[in-house]
Structure 1
Amino acid sequence: MAFEPHLHAPGVRMCLEAIFGHNKFTINCVGYDHNWVKQYIYKEDSAPLLPKGRSFKQSLTWTPLQQP
C-alpha cells in the first residue's frame, strides 16, 4: 500500500482518512512541495489494515493564487 500526494504547485497539504461509521481515522497527512513529489510506501508489517469496502475521505489544502 502506498500514499502519493499530487496537488500541483499551489498545493500545501494532503490528508487521507478512513471512515468507520460516524468515526474518521487519519491514515496519512503530509505537507506538499511540488518540487519534491514523494510516494510514501508502507512496510508490509505497518500498512493500515482496513476492512473490505471501507470509505475514504481525501482532504487538500491549497495556497491562494496571487492575482496581478
Structure 2
Amino acid sequence: MPKETFVKLPEEKKDKIIKAAKKEFARVPFEQTSIKNIVEDADIARGSFYQYFESKEDLLRVYFKYTF
C-alpha cells in the first residue's frame, strides 16, 4: 500500500505519478523498470518517491489499484 503521504497528494499529482509509472511499465519488463525514469517523467524528486512508496513493487500495486 502507498504511504499516507501519497494518499494525501492532490489527485493531479497522483495521476502524474501513475501515468509516469504506466509509461515505464509499458516500456520494458518490470525487472528492468527504472525509478529514475519514473521520477523524471513525473517531475518529482527521487526522495519524494520513497516518501510515497516503499519500493517499485509497492508502486506497481498502487498502479494496478488505480488502473483496474
The TM tier, using the shorter chain, reads under 0.3
Higher strand share: 1
TM-score with structure 1 length normalisation? 0.27
Max radius of gyration: which structure? 1
Higher helix share: 2
TM-score with structure 2 length normalisation? 0.27
